[in-house]
Structures are given as structure tokens and as C-alpha cells.
Amino acid sequence: MRRYRSVLVRFAKSWSRLPELNFALHRFLPMLEGSLLQKLVAARRSVQRPLNFGTYYKNTLVALCHALEDFVLETDSQPLLVSAFQQGRWYAQEAERYAAIADCAAQVAVMATRDSGFADLPQTAHRANVSLVSIAPDDPLAREWHLIILSPTYAAMVLCQELMPADYGPAGEPDNDLERKFYGFWTFEPMLVKVAIELAIAHIGQYDPKLQQQLTTRVAMMQTESDHCQRDDLNTVVMKVVSYLQATHQTTEALTAAQALDDNLASNELQAFLRMAQLIDQADARNPLAAAEVAALAEVMGQLLDLPAWQLKRLRLAGLLHRLAPLQGTTITSDLKAQAQRQILAQQGLLPKTSVMRAMPRLQAITNIITHQSECWDGSGQPEGLSYDAIPLESRILALLAYFQQAIAEHKQAGNDAPFATALAVCQAKAGSAFDPKLVEALALLVMGLQQGMSLPTDQPKIAAGIWLLDEPEAVFAAARG
């Protein structure tokens, strides 16, 4: 019992330490008063779930924005796109792209300071559905980089503020343009995108009230249409984001900060999958914290089993991503409920496909863990009918804990006064058939701790610096210092 208590203490410390260390650099970066980023944060203060802020190099943002923009060319829903380019000369480099986007979009609004003939570029200057808004040089948006895309079937957003010269520290601002840094976040979350685009439209109103009214009307129309539309397949968007980020790796080799740039790109590849997993949780009104809770349970279980740090890291990441596997018959829900969940996810473009993670080679081990979470101890599971120790240990742990967590959620919904004990009993009944008996014994110890007052973190995980889930902490800090 003494060893058990010490393991729980170690877990509590390790759980809080890594996110704190990874985000310490971000908490103290000031937001410009009146900036869109600052306004969005103020608008979200009443919401407990935090925004996932991170620091991004320019080359990462270019690849990310190109992926999200290019998906507009593939969707049939004619989105509204609002962007901020800081200076007109940056938009001049993208004018050809935006001409192609305008062919597929309902309306495009671009904000930038007037330079380099920004408002007179022939590619877009005379298009009826493209509005170029010249902002004042001292406008806070002149230091921000925005891409906000909203349609009835697709929503995506990049919202960042460039670091001030003092934020770079003793090394000062970089000489290479691709090494410039920005602070902010990106997301696929439709409601958050809608709030941000409304704030951006209100800012545009300071310069062009008529355009503000047009864009406001367009957003209202899209909101009505979205209630009757099936959303675009997010698997396709995620694949595009990952492929664009991977292609950008090739441009970093000759730069002085190549390793830091590569880490930033890899982190955002991982973030694409983590964001998709978060949206799947949000779509499940009956169990919206599944990923965070399974990840927490997995880390406790790993500590009880004295697993090494690298394996604990893999377990936690597999827990966060475990719902990206196609919905399988390992939960306690009936087939009817599983079908209903599939239908909800399909309507929101979130029906998970494990194959999307195969696009990122560094996730091969995690993909393997998630793929085999539906194997059974006695060999009756899928996809390969593995049995006993032939099933990866992490897969066995994940299968048990995902089932256990889902059982708790179901019994809480049903008003059960003892959800932990009831869920444990269900798992114990399946020991030797579906689950590894030794792991079920360890689960009984974990439940004992939960019954004695041990609490697990239930906040959604912060995912803005996901690279630490793949690399050793020393590498993370080296990249951050770079």
C-alpha cells in the first residue's frame, strides 16, 4: 500500500509538471490591446476550456495556411474567408492563390496596410467578391496574422500575433524571414471560428461599414444553412495539413534554426490529430472528456506497472488519440448507440479513420497501439485476432481503460451511485476473455485510489506544443530556447 501511495504522488507531480514546463514560455507573452487575439480571449473568459496557444515560426504558418486555404478549392460550400496579412507586400505574394480561392468562395475580405500596390493588384482588385481593406499602420492587426474560413460545411482558423522585438530575448530578431515567430493558435472548432469571424467583421466595420453589413449577413445565412448540411470530411483536411507541413521540412535544412523549425512543423502535424480527437469528444454529449480521462487513467496505470518514461509518454498520447480508431465493439454501448454515434460523427465530418495517422511516420507506434486496442486477450478480437502477450502491452492497457472510462460515463448518466465499483465489476467479468487478467488486477488498485478520493484531471489537454509528446524534454527545451 505504501508503494501504491507513492506511485500516485509521483503521478500527480508528473501530470502537472510537463504541461507547465512546456507552456511557461507562452503565458507571459503580452497581447496587443485591441488586437483580434486579445478580443477573442476576452470573449472566451467565461468558457472553462482553455484555448491552445503556442509559438509558431513563419514557415509553419505558411504551410498551415496554404493547406487550410487549398481545401477551400475542394469544398462545394462556397465559404467566407477573412484574412489579415499585416502588410500589403505579403499579400502581393499570395494574390494568385487568392484569385483561385475567389473562384470558389462566396466572399473574401483581406486586411493589410497599404503598400506595394496592395489594393491595386490585378489578380483580385476588380473581383466583385474580393474586398481589400487598407488598415492603419498603427492598427493592432498590422502585427497579426489571421486566416478565418467559415462555411456551412467547413470551418478553420489561424489566429496569431507576431512577437515584439523584446520577446525574442538576447539573441534579438532573426535575420531569416522564415524564422520570425508568432504567438497564437489554430483550430477546426466551428463555434470558435464563428466568434472570431464576427470579431474580425466588427473590426472591418471601422473602415468599411457597408462591407461589415454584407459580411454579417453572409455569416447569418451560413449559420442557417449549416443546420441542414453534412460537414466536410475532417480526415481529408487533416491529411492535407500534415502533408503540407511535411513538405515544408525540406525548406529548413539550410537555416541556422533548422532543428527548431523542424520541431515546430512536427508539433503542428501532431496537433492536427489532437484537434480532430478533441472535436470527436465534443461531438459526444454523453462522454465529452473521454480522451483526457483515458490518457490520465493510462498514465496512472503505467506508473502502477513501473513502465519507463518513454512508454508512459506513448500511453498518454495513445489515450489522447484513441478515438481516432474506427468505432469498434469494445465499448459497453449497444449497437444502436454505436450506430447513432457514427451518424453524428459522419454529419460533422468527424467519422474517424485510423489510416489518417499513418501519414505521420513518427506516429507509427501510436497508430499500432490504437489499431490493436480492439484485440481480445483470448484471441477473439480484431483486426488480427492476436491473443495474450502477442497483443502490444499498451494496446491491452488502452482497451481496458477505454472500456472502463466509457462504463463509468454510462453509469453516471444512468444515476448509478457507485459508478467506479460497477464499472470495475464489468471489467472483472471480462478478465481472461476480453482483457488481460493482470491488468484488471492493477485496475482494481487504481479504483481503490479513486474511491479513496484520488482525482484525475478532467480539463481538456493543452495541445499547442505537442512535440513534447514525441521527443524527450531536453529536446523540447532546446527547441524552445532556439
DSSP for 333-351, written as a single string: S-HHHHHHHHHHHHHTT--
Instruction: Report how far residue 11's alpha carbon sits from residue 228's, in angstroms, rounded to the nearest whole number.
Output: 46
In tens, the pLDDT along 74-95 reads 888 889 999 999 888 889 899 9
C-alpha distances (whole Å) from 245 to each of 7, 61, 66, 112, 335 are 39, 9, 10, 25, 38
C-alpha distances (whole Å) from 314 to each of 65, 308, 309 are 29, 10, 9
Q: What is the pLDDT of residue 17?
A: 37
Instruction: Report how far residue 445's alpha carbon sits from residue 11's, in angstroms, rounded to the nearest whole number.
Output: 14
* Identity of the amino acid at 402: A
Contact indicator for 163, 29 with CB cutoff of 8 Å: yes
In tens, the pLDDT along 5-50 reads 455 444 444 433 333 333 333 444 568 889 999 999 888 765 556 6
Q: Which residue has the cell 487504481?
A: 446
Among 8-12, 19-23, 199-203, 205-209, name the one with the lowest average pLDDT. 19-23
Contacts with 170 (C-beta within 8 Å, 6 or more apart), sequence order: none
**DSSP classification of residue 85:** E
Prediction pTM value: 0.76
**DSSP classification of residue 458:** -
Average pLDDT across the chain, whole number = 79
Mean pLDDT value of segment 459-467: 50
- Positive or negative CA dihedral for 387, 392, 394, 399? negative
Contact indicator for 217, 146 with CB cutoff of 8 Å: no
Crossing angle for the helix pair 393-413 and 419-429, nearest 10 degrees? 130
455 versus 60: the higher-pLDDT residue is 60
- Positive or negative CA dihedral for 190, 196, 198, 201? negative
**What percentage of residues in the chain have a pLDDT greater than 90?**
34
Alpha helices by DSSP H, listed for 417-472, are: 419-429, 437-451
Q: Is the pLDDT of residue 327 over 70?
A: no
Instruction: Report how far residue 133's alpha carbon sits from residue 114's, in angstroms, rounded to the nearest whole number.
Output: 9
**DSSP classification of residue 31:** P
Q: Which residues pair with 162 in a beta bridge?
A: 182
Q: Is the pLDDT of residue 151 over 80?
A: yes
Minimal CA–CA distance to 455: which of 247, 280, 293? 293
**What percentage of residues in the chain have a pLDDT greater than 70?**
76
Max CA separation in the chain (angstroms): 75
Domains of the chain by start residue, with CATH: 31-232 (3.30.870), 279-466 (1.10.3210.10)
In tens, the pLDDT along 387-425 reads 999 999 999 999 999 999 989 988 888 888 888 899 999
Q: What is the pLDDT of residue 467?
A: 47
pLDDT confidence bin for 383, thresholds 50/70/90: confident
Neighbour tally for 91: CB within 10 Å: 25
In tens, the pLDDT along 181-194 reads 898 889 888 889 99
pLDDT confidence bin for 198, thresholds 50/70/90: very high
Alpha helices by DSSP H, listed for 28-167, are: 36-43, 58-72, 88-92, 95-104
First to last CA, the chain: 44
Instruction: Report how far residue 166's alpha carbon sits from residue 180's, in angstroms, rounded to the nearest whole number.
Output: 13
* Identity of the amino acid at 261: L
Q: What is the pLDDT of residue 229?
A: 75
Q: Which residue has the cell 443546420?
A: 227
Is 231 buried (19+), middle (13-18) or exposed (0-12) by CB count in 10 A?
buried
Q: What angle do CA 474, 477, 481 make, to 5 degrees?
A: 140
